[in-house]
Amino acid sequence: MEQDKLERYNRNIIIPEIGVDGQYKLLNSKVLVCGAGGLGSTVILNLAALGVGNIGIIDNDVLELSNLNRQYIHGFSYLGQDKVKSAKNRIEDFNKDIEIEIYKTRLNSENYRDIVNGYDIIVDCFDSFASKFLLNDIALDMEKPLVHGGVTEFRGQVMTVIPKKTACLRCVFPQNEQEYIVKGVVSPSVAAIASIESMEVLKLILKLGTLLTDKMLVFDGLRMNFKTINAGRAKNCKCGC
């Protein structure tokens, strides 16, 4: 490994569970982050800091002033511009080791195969439950691990789905919540959930520790507690468990 990489990732490499071999795995991994908003801001920056070498970012929105209370990957100067371009510029300035592919589009049943096919892991940083359920179904169809995250106000949750092996999002939320209602959210709760998502990605890549599979970790920032809810595999669910 080149000297500059050894120095940059030193605090990763000196962890016994990572080492040089683990850092190579991170540099060679490919992760698709779906959403470049609040959750995406922390996830993308965390992955870039870890040295995940190939990051895809998909988002169809432009940056608005109301986004900046939590979407700190973006700068004020990018107001009115595409979030994917803003995020790419930030990461290219932060870590030139990272290859960034951006998709200024809305993921749907027609375009997902060409986008998702080239990635090892999918990270759910979308806002609406309709988008999250779509992403869940895409992950199942493409047999890609999915790290789900959701957050609103002071609360949030994280769950990891391994297709054909673990419960999926539909096992936990059988009814599809299609209507999207704008709710408040504060940056500390967003960053907390996104950081846990990022840890799940790290563990998936390096095959470390215990994943949040067949369970959902729920965070309540007001009471400052976490609880784990077991997620059974629903009978006749499309996840095929």
Q: Which tens digit of pLDDT belongs to each residue from 37-94?
A: 999 999 999 999 999 999 999 999 999 999 899 999 999 998 999 999 999 999 999 9
Rounded Cα–Cα distance for residues 240 and 216 (Å): 19
How far is Cα 139 from Cα 123, in angstroms, rounded to an integer?
Answer: 10
What's the confidence (pLDDT) of residue 177?
Answer: 56
Q: What is the pTM of this model?
A: 0.94
Give the closest residue to 93 by CA, choosing from 150, 45, 29. Answer: 45
Per-residue confidence band for 236, with pLDDT thresholds at 50, 70 and 90: confident
* Per-residue confidence band for 129, with pLDDT thresholds at 50, 70 and 90: confident
Say if residue 175's pLDDT is above 80: no
Question: What rounded mean pLDDT belongs to the chain?
Answer: 93
Lowest mean pLDDT among 55-59, 108-112, 144-148, 225-229: 108-112
Q: Are the beta carbons of 37 and 150 closer than 8 angstroms?
A: no
Token pair in block for residue 209? 């520790």
Confidence grade of residue 231 (pLDDT, cut at 50, 70, 90): confident
Order of all β-strands in the sheet with 54-58: 99-103, 54-58, 30-34, 121-124, 146-152, 155-161, 215-220, 225-230
**High-pLDDT (> 90) share of the chain, %:** 85
